Copies of this chain bind each other. A is one copy, B any other.
Amino acid sequence: MTLSREFRLSLFRKMLQVRRFEQKAIEMYQRSVIHGTIHSCVGQEASTVGVIAALEAKDYVTSTHRGHGHSLAKGSRIPAMFAELFGRETGCCRGRGGSMHIADVAVGMLGCNAIVAGSTPHAVGAALSGKLQGSNNVVACFIGDAAVNQGAFHESANLAAVWQLPVLFTVENNQYGVSTRIQDTTALKQLSDRAAGYGMPGVTVDGQDVEAVYAAALALTERGRRGEGPALLETITYRYEGHNYGQPMTYRSKEEIDSWRQKDPVFLYREKLAGMGYEADLKAIEAEVEQEMAAAIAWALEQPLPDVAEITDLVYVDNTPFPDLSGRRRVYEE
Complex interface: chain B residues within 8 A of A152 (CB): 151
**How long is the Cα–Cα vector from A154 to B117 in the complex, in angstroms?**
13
Closest B-chain residue to A191, C-beta based?
A: B197
State whether the Cβ of A187 lies closer than 8 Å to any Cβ in chain B.
Answer: yes
Complex interface: chain B residues within 8 A of A187 (CB): 158, 161-162, 164, 198-200, 229
Give the contacting residue for A149; candidates B155, B193, B196; CB below 8 A.
Answer: B155
**How long is the Cα–Cα vector from A161 to B188 in the complex, in angstroms?**
9
> How often does this chain occur in the complex, in copies?
2
State whether the Cβ of A194 lies closer than 8 Å to any Cβ in chain B.
Answer: yes
Give the contacting residue for A186; candidates B158, B194, B229; CB below 8 A.
Answer: B158
For A, the interface residue count at a CB cutoff of 8 angstroms equals: 27
Known: A196-B193, A196-B197. A161 touches B186 (CB 8 A): yes
* CB proximity of A201 to chain B, nearest CB, Å: 11
Complex interface: chain B residues within 8 A of A161 (CB): 186-187
Cβ of A193 and Cβ of B197 under 8 Å apart? yes
* CB proximity of A116 to chain B, nearest CB, Å: 12
Cβ of A158 and Cβ of B162 under 8 Å apart? no
Closest B-chain residue to A163, C-beta based?
A: B187
* CB proximity of A254 to chain B, nearest CB, Å: 28
Cβ of B162 and Cβ of A184 under 8 Å apart? yes
Complex interface: chain B residues within 8 A of A198 (CB): 186-188, 194, 197
State whether the Cβ of A150 lies closer than 8 Å to any Cβ in chain B.
Answer: yes
List which A170-211 residues lie within 8 A (CB) of chain B: 184-189, 193-200
Closest B-chain residue to A155, C-beta based?
A: B151
Chain A, 74-86, contact with B by CB distance < 8 Å: what is the 0/1 string? 0000000000000
* CB proximity of A161 to chain B, nearest CB, Å: 4
Cβ of A162 and Cβ of B186 under 8 Å apart? yes
Complex interface: chain B residues within 8 A of A195 (CB): 197
Chain A, 226-269, contact with B by CB distance < 8 Å: what is the 0/1 string? 00010000000000000000000000000000000000000000
Closest B-chain residue to A164, C-beta based?
A: B187
**How long is the Cα–Cα vector from A186 to B158 in the complex, in angstroms?**
6
Complex interface: chain B residues within 8 A of A200 (CB): 187
**How long is the Cα–Cα vector from A5 to B105 in the complex, in angstroms?**
69
Closest B-chain residue to A161, C-beta based?
A: B187
Cβ of B197 and Cβ of A185 under 8 Å apart? no
In addition to A150-B155, A153-B154, 7 A-B residue pairs with Cβ atoms within 8 Å of each other are A149-B158, A162-B185, A188-B199, A193-B197, A193-B199, A194-B198, A197-B198
Interface set of A (CB-CB < 8 Å, partner B): 149-155, 158-159, 161-162, 164, 184-189, 193-200, 229
A to B CB contacts below 8 Å, 28 in the list: A149-B154, A149-B158, A150-B151, A150-B155, A151-B151, A151-B152, A151-B154, A153-B154, A154-B154, A158-B185, A158-B186, A158-B187, A161-B186, A161-B187, A162-B186, A162-B187, A186-B198, A187-B229, A188-B197, A188-B198, A188-B199, A189-B199, A193-B197, A193-B199, A194-B197, A195-B197, A196-B197, A197-B197
